[in-house]
Structure formats: C-alpha cells, structure tokens
Amino acid sequence: MEAQIEIKFKRLRKELNHIPLPSYATKGSAGLDIYAALEKPMRITKGSIEMVPTNISVEIPEGYEIQVRPRSGLAAKHGIGILNSPGTIDSDYRGEIKIIIINLGKEDFIIQPAERIAQLVVSKVYTAKFIESNELNNTLRGEGGFGHTGR
C-alpha cells in the first residue's frame, strides 16, 4: 500500500460550500483537481493574469508542500496556464489557496463556477544546508549551460 498523509482543510465561505473539494480524477492521478470557488463566471482576457479563489485553506504537515500545477487540457486547448508554475504552498501558510491564472490564448476565456482550474501535487520537502567552499569538484560538463549541448 502506498504512503498517504492527511491534510486538514477549512472552507472559508459557507455560501460556497457546494464547490467540490480537491480530488483525484483517477486512481493513478498524481495531482488533485482543484476548483474555482466563484459565484458567477470570471472572464480572463487574453494576455491577462487573475487570482482565482478556491475557498479553502490547508494545514500541510511539516516536511511537505503542495505544488500548484496547470491542467494540460486548459493549456493545450485554450492557452490557460498557471503563473509561477509550479507554485508552492508551504506547510506554514494558512491563507486561502488562490490560483494565479494567465491567459496566453488567442481569445478571452471564461472560468465557470466550480470548474477544475489546476492540480495540486503533495510533495516531500528536503531541507539543505549550504556550505561555502573555495573549490568544487570538477565534472565533464563544467560550467557549460543554457544550450551548451545544442539547441
């Protein structure tokens, strides 16, 4: 059986309690679909950025994060993406999850109330200790980057 953690959540506005909770679409899904908590449709004009509310806040266990990722169907069909993707929800954040939507499409896009707008992926977080050094190990690649092996 795969590992599972519990994440407590809170609905923020009672009048939006009919909005579905984040959920996995299929047994093999890595991300939970999250829904727009809107009372009426929201227009995202082409080239614009909007913050879309979800009506939930979460309590993520320490040592974990939630990554906010775009939905492939919205991206491929409409040019709708998530700015700052993947976004990170830290374990100590208790505010409302809002999805930063960008419309890179050729026309305005209407987000409907309770529409699936993004995916949430729960991930383990590892902390690092940076250690200053005057020397680093050499590698075959060295300092080559940003297309050094071709296009």
pLDDT per residue as tens digits for the range 16-29 = 999 999 999 999 99
Q: Does residue 136 form part of some domain?
A: no
Using DSSP bridges, classify how beta strands 23-24 and 32-35 pair: parallel, antiparallel or unpaired: antiparallel
First to last CA, the chain: 42
Q: Does residue 75 form part of some domain?
A: yes
Q: Residue 76 is part of a domain; what is its CATH number?
A: 2.70.40.10
Domain total for the chain? 1
Q: Which range of residues forms the domain containing residue 115?
A: 8-124
pTM of the model: 0.86
pLDDT tens figures, 126-141: 999 999 999 999 988 8
* 61, 7 Cβ separation under 8 angstroms: yes
Long-range contacts (CB closer than 8 Å, 24 or more residues apart) made by 122-126: 122/5, 122/7, 122/32, 122/60, 122/64, 122/65, 122/66, 122/67, 123/64, 123/65, 123/66, 123/67, 124/63, 124/64, 125/63, 125/64, 125/65, 125/91
Q: Does residue 48 form part of some domain?
A: yes
